[in-house]
Amino acid sequence: MKIWKFGKYFFLIFFISFSVINWENISWVFNYRTVSTLFSDFLKKDTLEIQELFYEEKDSIEINKIDIKAPLIIGEGLNNLQVYQALDNGVVLYPSSALPGEIGQSIVLGHSSPPGWPKVKYDWVFTNINELNTGNKIIIYFNNKKFTYTVKDKIFLERGEQIPEKIDNNKSVLVLISCWPPGKDLRRIAVISSLDT
């Protein structure tokens, strides 16, 4: 009987220690939104795999350096709440920004999540954009055309801070924006690239 009591306490201490040490990798289990989304995505898994095969034929973004392929949602006519909701389905071209390939800034928003977070919807899509450096390529498929952009700069912004005016608006510029650090809403990271000619 004493061995059983000792075993229960040992298991409890082991479980608590394991949870604390691995919290970064298992914390998503306690987020009801993530768990419910995983369950609903499991039921729709076949549909999602079929959609992934056709990214190149639809509006999408591809960044080989960080292994990203995601739908590009055009945000025309969307208000802030609708933009936020659209981020669950891919990355969003911010309303009123230039369309890919046009002169001006094409601002693309995407979520980021902390390390170890499961790939639920597109909460994770821009988690690793900090790894992009000068010279890396970003491909946008839009209106059945392929646009290749080359990364020129990476900047960090405070919340609400505007993108600096130093960006040349006489060119086609692509700006990827996400929260920084990943999974936190403290600052913003912006990766600036220009269209290859």
Residue 5 lies in a domain: no
Residue 183 lies in a domain: yes
Residue 103 lies in a domain: yes
Residue 173 lies in a domain: yes
Exposure letters 159-181 (e unless 16+ CB within 10 A, then b): eeeebeeebeeeebbbbbbbbbb
Residue-level pLDDT at 52: 43
Per-residue pLDDT reduced to its tens digit, 111-162: 998 877 888 789 899 999 999 999 999 999 999 999 999 999 999 999 888 8
Distant-in-sequence, close-in-space partners of 172: CB < 8 Å, separation ≥ 6: 98, 100, 101, 102, 103, 104, 106, 147, 149, 194, 195
Residue 39 lies in a domain: no
Residue 86 lies in a domain: yes
- Four-CA torsion 105, 110, 112, 118, nearest 10 degrees: -150
Cα distances (Å, whole numbers) of residue 180 to 53, 121, 151: 30, 19, 18
Tell me how far apart the alpha carbons of residues 58 and 117 are, in angstroms, rounded to a whole number.
27
- Residue 9 clears pLDDT 80, i.e. is over it: no
Residue 28 lies in a domain: no
Q: Domain total for the chain?
A: 1
70 class by beta-carbon count within 10 Å (0-12 exposed, 13-18 middle, 19+ buried): buried
Tell me how far apart the alpha carbons of residues 82 and 26 are, in angstroms, rounded to a whole number.
30
Per-residue pLDDT reduced to its tens digit, 50-96: 344 444 448 999 999 999 999 999 877 778 888 888 898 999 999 88
Which pLDDT band, with edges at 50, 70 and 90, does 1 fall under? Answer: low
Residue 139 lies in a domain: yes
Owning domain of residue 171:
56-195
Tell me how far apart the alpha carbons of residues 93 and 175 are, in angstroms, rounded to a whole number.
10
CATH number (domain holding residue 164): 2.40.260.10
Most confident of 35-39, 156-160, 163-167: 156-160
- Residue 107 clears pLDDT 90, i.e. is over it: yes
Tell me how far apart the alpha carbons of residues 44 and 23 are, in angstroms, rounded to a whole number.
28
